[in-house]
Amino acid sequence: MEKINYIIKEPSRAINLPSELGFGRYFTNHIFEMDYLPEKGWCNPTIKPFTDMAFHPATMVLHYGQAIFEGIKAFKTINGDAVIFRAETHIERLNNSARRICIPEVDVNFVVDAMRELVSIEKDWIPTNKGEALYIRPFIFGMDPFLGVNPSKTYKFLIILSPVGAYYPRGFVPVKILVQDDYVRAVRKGLGECKTPANYAASLLAAEVAKKKGFDQVLWLDGVEQKYIEEVGTMNIFITFKDEIVTPKLNGSILPGVTRRSVIQILEEWGENINQRMISIDEIVDSYKTGRLVGIFGTGTAAIISSVGMLSYKENDMLINNGKPGELDLRLFEELTSIHYGIKPDTHNWLTYTEKKGIELV
């Protein structure tokens, strides 16, 4: 791969950011960009000032949605280091998504280095309050100006950064979730496990309907029988029963969350009885009625850990843990954020340290 070209125009620092950052509203001063050309492969890697971009109206992604993305977080540790959480794992997942929709794969080490450089240049944008982070959004999309339906021959890869607060505006207040059986998000052998915009487009109408009814999110059922729970769209889901903790087994239509994977590992290390298996919505309703259901929480890069305070399915409004955050959820949130902020040692090697390289301004 070529060396990164740097066009750094201004000192990078966050100014006038409100205390409530919300999610994905503000962007840092620089982006990473590279192109894919059939004759050169991935080329022209550049870190440059953030600006609007102009596109040909026939740009393929705008018509057929050939795009993939990742969501990653950088944190500032209590020692002042800028660290990225599970950088490689995310870029490996980006490549899995790439293969599924005919996008050329990237070099994982090169992209992790590019991300490191960008985060290190924008280090002063990393917010430091607990629950806050610098959200990293790498994405790739088809660039050919062409209306035929086939994979694009040229692509653009961008990384943008956004200082964020908690994904849910009410902070660690448990969310209300509606189990969706009018629509499906994904089917097995479809795109469900791929981080591609189509899955998010598929979720919009159901999420709007749920919001109008006072819910924060939708829990999707499987696309075949609408019997088994799958995921929330922005989070994977975990159910705490008295005798086991369960998360739906990956079946091709569920996104393999990086936070999901981390939480499973932590729970195993804590000696909990954590199982990945199919869970029917009927099992959840029955266990609610018999008192076997103790809690429900979601995991995701954006949400980290989010307790579910209410789960509604048909005529069953299930108030979970009296609408309060579960003990296990809080413990997991504490554990993950302690690793993020360097409060606890990174025994799993999940953090990638970035290092300021003293790049000259031009």
Among 302, 318, 320, 351, binds ligand COI (CB under 6 A): 302
Q: Are 103 and 143 in contact (CB under 8 A)?
A: no
Residue 320's region, left for phi above 0, alpha for psi from -120 to 50, else beta, is beta
Return the residue nearest ligand COI (CB atom).
71
Q: Which stretch binds ligand COI (CB under 6 A): 125-133, 155-163, 204-212, 295-303?
A: 295-303
User: Nearer Cβ to ligand COI, position 248 or 300?
Assistant: 300
Taking the complex as a whole, the smallest distance from the CB of residue 225 to ligand COI amounts, in Å, to 26
CB of 7 to ligand COI, least distance (A): 28
Pattern 166-205, binding to ligand COI, x per CB under 6 A? ----------------------------------------
Q: What sign does the CA torsion over 143, 141, 146, 104 have?
A: positive
Q: Is 258 in the site for ligand COI (CB under 6 A)?
A: no
H-helix or E-strand containing 274? Answer: strand 274-277
Our CB check for ligand COI shows the closer of 185 and 285 to be 185
Find the shortest distance in angstroms from Cβ 3 to ligand COI: 29
Residue 300 binds ligand COI (CB under 6 A):
yes
* Cβ–Cβ < 8 Å for 33, 156: yes
User: Which listed residue (301, 307, 312, 352) binds ligand COI by CB under 6 A?
Assistant: 301
What minimum distance in Å lies between the beta carbon of 69 and ligand COI? 8
Whether the CB-CB separation of 284 and 310 falls below 8 Å is answered with no
Applying CB under 6 A, the span of 1-9, 185-193, 202-210, 298-306 interacting with ligand COI comes to: 298-306
Q: Which of 12, 77, 180, 234 binds ligand COI (CB under 6 A)?
A: 234
Nearer to ligand COI, 45 or 138 (CB): 138
- From the list 357, 361, 341, the residue with the least C-alpha distance to 119 is 357
C-alpha to C-alpha distance for 63 and 22, rounded to whole angstroms: 30
Question: Are 71 and 137 contacting, i.e. CB atoms less than 8 angstroms apart?
Answer: yes
Distance of alpha carbon 7 from alpha carbon 49, whole angstroms: 7
Q: Is 338 exposed, middle or buried (0-12, 13-18, 19+ CB in 10 A)?
A: middle
Q: Determine if 120 is a binding residue for ligand COI (CB under 6 A).
A: no
User: Which CB sits closer to ligand COI, 138 or 295?
Assistant: 138
| C-alpha to C-alpha distances, 315 to 179, 285, 291, 311, 312, nearest whole angstrom | 11, 11, 18, 11, 7
Binding mask 27-66 toward ligand COI (x if CB under 6 A, else -) reads: ----------------------------------------
Question: Helix %, strand %, coil % for the chain, to 5?
Answer: 25, 30, 45
Task: Tell me whether residue 66 or residue 236 sits nearer to ligand COI (CB atom).
Answer: 236
Considering CB under 6 A, how many residues would be counted as binding ligand COI? 5
Contacts (Cβ under 8 Å, ≥6 apart) of 109: 88
Q: Per CB under 6 A, does 262 bind ligand COI?
A: no
The answer to whether residue 71 forms part of the interface with ligand COI (CB under 6 A) is: yes
The stretch near ligand COI (CB under 6 A) out of 3-11, 106-114, 204-212, 294-302 is 294-302
Least distance in Å: CB of 65 to ligand COI?
15
Neighbours of 128 (CB within 10 A): 12
Q: Give the whole-angstrom CA distance, residue 280 versus residue 251.
A: 14
Q: Which residues bind ligand COI (CB under 6 A)?
A: 71, 234, 300-302
